Structure 1
Amino acid sequence: MNKKRFKRRTATAAAIAAALLVLSACGASSKNGKAGTGAATDAKKNGTISVSLYDRGITPPDAGTPEKNSWTEWVNKNGPVNVNFVTIPRFESVSKFNALFASGDVPNYIQEFDVSFRNQLIAQKQVVPLDDLIDKYSTTYKALIQKYPQIKSFGVKADGKLYEFGRMGGVRVNEGLLIRADWLKKLNLQVPKTTEELYQVAKAFAENDPDGNGKKDSRGMSLSPTAPQPGNDKIVNQMFQNVTWVVENGALIRDWDRLKAATQFKKDLYEGGVVDKDFLADKNGEKSRQDWINGKLGIWGLNNAAEKYGLDAFTELMKNNPDAEVMAIPLPKSPFGQFSPVPAPPITYNGMITANAKDPESIIKYVDFMSEDATMKALKYGEENVHYKMSPNGCPQTINEDKWKKEVSWTTDFQMLSHFYLEGKCGLFSSQLDTGNPVNKSFKAIVDQANAAYLTTERPFPEFMHPSYYPSYPKDLQIIATNLEKQINDMMVKAIVSGNSYTVDQAIKDAKNVWEKTGGTKLEEWFGQWYKENKDKLMTKKEIYDLVQK
């Protein structure tokens, strides 16, 4: 499905917007004044639901708490139902959800990015199919599916049913690899093009005082998590195509060679004094972020590199180190090829109705409200002529950065049903920046570097298909897959930090043994057969990159 076919099968963003339920604008009061504009309703609110909301620790104290703040109040004031928000620690979400499911206190509507965990919930029948509920109760979301049928077709599982709500986010940079270009210049080094060169550059950063303070206190590189499990650094894994499943000779197989190479590279970094010895304790990546913004880290892999998270980190770095120079670089080439971080998918699935929900109609009303164009604009930009104005390029542009950051910028996780693709270029974070601000201008240049480096078929993402669309295992196999993933990851982490007492070779041997003894071959058989039956139906990487949001 290329871009022309995508457009041909669907309507334009303007047509969608016209089809949406238009509600009158209304500002919501908060401790900061007006929180934004949105869709108000005169309908009596008969339903009350509970909804999960990630807690990243970024809610400003003046706005309230993560559970109750100016924007939770805004949603309740302007939305069609009463909502009790249940906050979930972003980087410990799976364990928190598991505890809530076990206690019977899980919210009626949950939002989670981890595709493996969502597939597990589907296999365990902890969530319900959505097809009939959307047909019966939805207006806005149903209209989107009718105009953009891929929203549904990409999400249908092996049983032919839809279990997840999704948003059209457009293909864009997600993770990125940043390097201190001024440190390269200081030490007369070149941008690393191979993993061997990456190691040498990172070691030089750690040993040769690139910040010139006369102390050996710099970190060459970070191994803190850009993936759910500690030690499972996603950026390094993608360099080595360590993505578990690879296609060889036309068949899908469980790979071990790439796992071994990636783990050995991490062990080398650890033993070479290149990374923080306590990286396993940095479970949410905040320690690495602090090292970066304080000018103590030379190479940093991060999520949301081209979004607000990336800008905030860059802004703080420049405040602390005004002479710092930063580049986004292509992932260095490994013995298995050269790849890019997996981009944000054309459609991101995250929302599910749990089996304990007693009022699915109210949940659908909430989904409709959060999917509307007016709601999306309010949550993302705030109030027109208060937080943003329309710029000459036709996109919303922040009026006062400090005011927007304080009152609006932290609403990311309210936007998990916002369809940014429908905004075209305006949906890109970089399009909203006032490049008259020197820091914003420099950050946009970094985003441009990332786009050029990562959104190309010359250096594609390493998975055989976009991992967001991996199929869900049957219940019995999902349990096996979940347990094996943790056991094998724990073995690799042990090998990284244990020196000669536990080598990578021994870890791989142990991993293969546990794989064979506890059902791994069943996963290979099931996934291999699935691939054989569906490989000609999969969206190609070229088709995915054709949907890059521009």
Structure 2
Amino acid sequence: MERGGIHVGSPNQPRAGKAALAVLLTAGLLTACSGTGEPGSGGDTAPASVLKGGRFDPPVTMTSWGCYSATYKYKENQSFEQNVGLDWVKEKLGIQIQYLWTTPWENDACLTKMRLSLSGNEPLPDVVYVSVDAKGRSILADLIETGQFMDIGEVFEKHASPAYKEILKAHPELWAFAARDGKRYGIPHTADPYVNSPVLYLREDWLKTLNLKTPGTIDELEAVMDAFVNKDPDGNGKKDTYGLALGVKNNWLEGFASTGWIFGAYGTVPTYWLKGADGSLQYGSVQPGAKEALAKLRSWYEKGYLDPEFAMKDPAKASELVTAGRTGVIDGPYWLPIWPLPDLKKNVPGSSMLPVMLPAGPGGKPGFNGGDSLLGVYLINKKYKTPEALQVYLNKMLQAGGKEKGSDVENGFIEGYDYKMENGAPVAVPDQRVDQILLGNGTPMIPERNLNSLAHLASGAAPRDGFDQGNVAYKDAHVPGSIMQKQLSFGIQNEFKGASTPTMSTKMEALRKMENEVFTKIIYGKEPLTAFDDFVAKWKSSGGDQITKEVNDWYQAAGSK
């Protein structure tokens, strides 16, 4: 869901089964001047196209692999392959988008199809979008290894808008993900790095019923959860409530109902590469703080604070206990009051959720898995004869995402579709986002802008521009956004920005599987806490030490700081 800058969803991939999730990973793009040649060829008989006023004339055709959210509800007789957004791009930019194939992101269907296309030596499209998650890192390495994608440096320098260049000037680290041997193989799809950064939400009415104070530390939160579980906060005479909602079926760092803030309270984040005291990068899952966090989660499970099925549920499923009125605490981003929390009020009259800062750990401060200003990168086929078309498209998408004042996308894409005018002001139609049915399933973002906008509106100030005006509609996200802004300094960043290293490509999947199994068994009490020490030793000897060396080699080559 987005108007103004709000992106509702997971930052890396669709996880919650909600069409509005902006974290949906991108689809593809683009081929050549005529559309009659092979992918990447541009077509040899097409008349030369001229780029004038931001539009190609005659239109150019561009191909890609098309990935989309299976949960998006299209209006009328539309689809991902044929919709008003694609028509808009052709009309406004002179770009005819075509897909070699389309498939959903859900259940890794798109990533699996990408790998099958590569292994089957199928023709590559003109543009490929790659996400920044672990599986995206692996795909990226394989794509670059084909030797069929260009160094995009010249295309970017010649055709990127001043606004796009300014973002990359302020965030040069975003180039590192797709950089090899001094070449840049991917144009960054910039993102709101805070779209999945968590605050804590608590049942406000339960706090009042039980005369409890807002918790400021992990210990104080534990006392609140204990009361939520043992003191019948819903007054039904049954012990049928839980303290904390977690849904880690797919990942310890999901977009909400996650554990990143729990590990963060102990100074680490699982799967992240963190800067150690000696300046080198160390894997977060094998740090001492991870053992402390597992001990705390194990204790919470033993005390009945957690739903026994938390490890088998994704965030959307985990949140159902919250919206049904049976769980009193959940972590999540500023957009959680937009979805799915409103269902709580529908199901439990008089209920309310209170957003608060994350609780401090033993070290006296909170911590959480910091986000990335990079959602993914776009690679361009060397055979593509109009590679600038991609940058022209991204320039316009950035303009739309920022609601650039005075532009033809200041209010939105299509009046009467994704926005309407009421009393002279644009009003969002959240369920009809045009950018979600286009390349990338979302617009590039000025990284800091959305959170700044929410905090500005939370203060009671009037909208400053079209971007703020778009966020007015999401009033329930204003206060959580302002809380998130106050705790930004506690974010723990993943310092590894590169693609998969050689040993990562061959061994990290097995190491991750071992990690997930051990962590889960420790929390459930099926293994003693000392199993963590055995895991660390085995992780190191099974490839972890070599991966750590390769990561630090990359870090030194990239210019560690």
Deviations 1:92-111 (A, max 9, x none): 46566555544556866444
Structure 1 contact 51–108 (Cα < 8 Å) conserved: no
Compared with structure 1, are the counterparts of its residues 62 and 296 closer, same or farther at alpha carbon in structure 2 (3 Å cutoff)? farther
Structure 1 regions of 5+ residues with no counterpart?
1-38, 539-550
Aligned to 1:193: 216
Report the alpha carbon displacement of residue 348 of structure 1 after superposing the two structures with TM. Answer: 1.5
In structure 1, how many angstroms separate the alpha carbons of the residues matched to 2:374 and 2:121?
A: 27
Partners of 2:392 and 2:337 lie apart in 1 by 30
What does the per-residue CA deviation read over 1:305-339, in whole Å, with 9 as the maximum and x for residues that have no partner? Answer: 224x5423243333444533322222222235523
Shift in Å, 1:145:
5.6
Give 1:280's match in structure 2, choosing from 311, 320, 325.
Answer: 311
Would you say the 8 A contact 1:145–1:152 is kept in 2?
A: no
* Conserved? CA contact 1:180–1:299, under 8 Å: yes
Give the letter aligned to residue 233 of structure 2.
P
Q: Which amino acid aligns with 1:89?
A: W
Question: Would the aligned equivalents of 2:411 and 2:426 in 1 still touch at CA under 8 Å?
Answer: no
Deviation at 1:224, TM superposition (A): 0.6
Q: Distance in 2 between matches of 1:126 and 1:140?
A: 26
Are 2:183 and 1:161 aligned?
A: yes
Provide the secondary structure at the position in 1 that maps to 2:137.
helix
C-alpha separation in 2, matches of 1:71 and 1:139: 26
The equivalent residue for 1:184 is 207
CA distance in 2 between partners of 1:280 and 1:107 (Å): 38
Q: CA deviation at 1:187?
A: 1.6
With over 3 angstroms needed to count, the CA separation of the structure-2 counterparts of 1:279 and 1:72, relative to structure 1, is farther
Instruction: Tell me, in whole angstroms, the C-alpha distance in 2 between the residues paired with 1:115 and 1:100.
Output: 20
- Residues 144-199 of structure 1 deviation map (CA, whole Å, 9 limit, x = unaligned): 56545435553133632223322444654532222222211212222222223323
- 1:5 aligns with none
- Report the CA distance between 1:350 and its aligned residue: 0.3
Name 2:105's counterpart in structure 1: 89
Q: Kindly provide the amino acid, as one letter, of the partner of residue 286 in structure 1.
A: A
Q: How does 1:115-134 map to 2 (within 5 A)?
A: 115-124=133-142, 125=144, 132-134=151-153
Matched, 1:502 2:532: no
Match of 2:72 in 1: 58
Query: 2 CA distance for matches of 1:332 and 1:390?
Result: 42
| Partner-residue secondary structure (3-state), 2:221 | helix
Q: Which residue of 2 aligns with 1:484?
A: 511
Could you tell which deviates more after superposition, 52-61 or 216-225?
52-61
Which residue identity is paired with 1:183? W
Match of 1:523 in 2: 547
Distance (Å, rounded) in 1 between the aligned partners of 2:422 and 2:81:
34
**In the alignment, is the contact (CA less than 8 A) between 2:228 and 2:243 conserved in 1?**
yes
Identify the residue that residue 229 of structure 2 maps to in structure 1: 206
Amino acid at match of 1:160: G
SS of alignment partner, residue 311 of structure 1: coil
- The question of 1:300 aligning with 2:315 is answered no
Say if 2:469 is the partner of 1:451: no
- Residues 502-523 of structure 1 show CA distances to partners (whole Å, capped at 9, x for unaligned) of 22312x1331232232122223
% same residue: 18
For residues 343 and 387 of structure 2, what CA distance do their matches in structure 1 show? 39
Correspondent of 1:334 among 336, 345, 361: 361
Quick one: which of 370, 392, 410 aligns to 1:368?
392
1:513 corresponds to: 537
Contact in 2 for aligned 1:40/1:77 (Cα 8 Å): no
Shift of residue 229, structure 1, vs aligned partner: 5.6
Relative to structure 1, the CA distance from residue 267 to residue 370 in structure 2 (aligned partners, 3 Å threshold; closer, same or farther) is same
Correspondence for 1:250 = 278
2: distance between equivalents of 1:216 and 1:502? 27
Q: Output the CA distance in 2 between the equivalents of 1:291 and 1:57.
A: 21
Higher helix share goes to which structure?
1
Equivalent residue, structure 1, for 2:297: 266
Structure 2: gaps of 5 or more residues: 1-52, 404-408, 458-467
Contact 1:192 / 1:201 at 8 angstroms: preserved in 2? yes
- Contact residue 326 and residue 446 of structure 1 kept, 8 A: no
Match of 1:290 in 2: 320
1:406 aligns with 2:431: yes
Letter in 1 for 2:264: Q
Q: Could you list the per-position Cα deviations for residues 67-96 of structure 1 after superposition, in whole angstroms to 9, with x for gaps in the alignment?
A: 554435544555513222734335646566
Match of 1:12 in 2: none
Q: CA RMSD in A?
A: 4.1
C-alpha distance in 2 between matches for 1:223 and 1:338: 22
Specify the code of the residue in structure 1 equivalent to 2:379.
Answer: I
How far does the alpha carbon of each residue in 1:429-461 deviate from its partner, in whole angstroms, 9 at most, with x for none? 9634676x8xx5444223323322x22x3xx21
* Residue 528 (structure 1) shift: 4.4
CA distance in 1, matches of 2:330, 2:161: 41
- AA in 2 matched with 1:238: G
Bigger drift between 319-328 and 222-231 goes to 222-231
In the alignment, structure 1 residue 383 sits paired with structure 2 residue 414: yes
Pairs aligned (count): 473
Q: Establish whether residue 238 from structure 1 lines up as the match of residue 264 from structure 2.
A: yes
Structure 1 residues 355-377: Cα deviation after superposition (integer angstroms, max 9, x where no partner): xx575445651342133155545
| Aligned mates of 2:232, 2:77 — CA distance in 1 | 42
After TM superposition, list the pairs within 5 Å mapping 1:9-28 onto structure 2.
none
Distance 1:230 1:385, change over 3 A: closer
Q: Give the direction of change, closer, same or farther, for the CA distance of 1:42–1:48 in structure 2 (3 Å limit).
A: closer
TM-score for both structures, normalised by structure 1: 0.71
Change (3 A) 1:75 1:296: farther
- Is the CA contact (8 Å cut-off) linking 1:330 and 1:340 kept in structure 2? no
Distance between the aligned counterparts of 2:357 and 2:56, measured in 1? 52
- Looking at structure 2, the residues matched to 282 and 256 of structure 1 have their Cα atoms a distance apart, in angstroms, of 26
- What is the DSSP-based 3-state SS (H/G/I as helix, E as strand, rest coil) of the residue aligned with 2:539? helix
Which residue of structure 2 lines up, in the alignment, with residue 141 of structure 1?
160
- Where 2:340 maps in the other structure, the secondary structure is helix
- For the 8 Å contact 1:226–1:234, the answer to whether it is kept is no
SS for the counterpart of 1:488 is: helix
Change (3 A) 1:57 1:359: farther
Partner AA of 1:241 in structure 2 = G
Shift of 1:230: 8.6
Q: Contact 2:155/2:387 (CA < 8 Å) preserved in 1?
A: no
196, 203, 217: which one aligns with 1:174: 196
For the Cα contact (< 8 Å) 2:400–2:443, is it kept in 1?
A: no
* 8 Å CA contact retained: 1:331, 1:339: yes
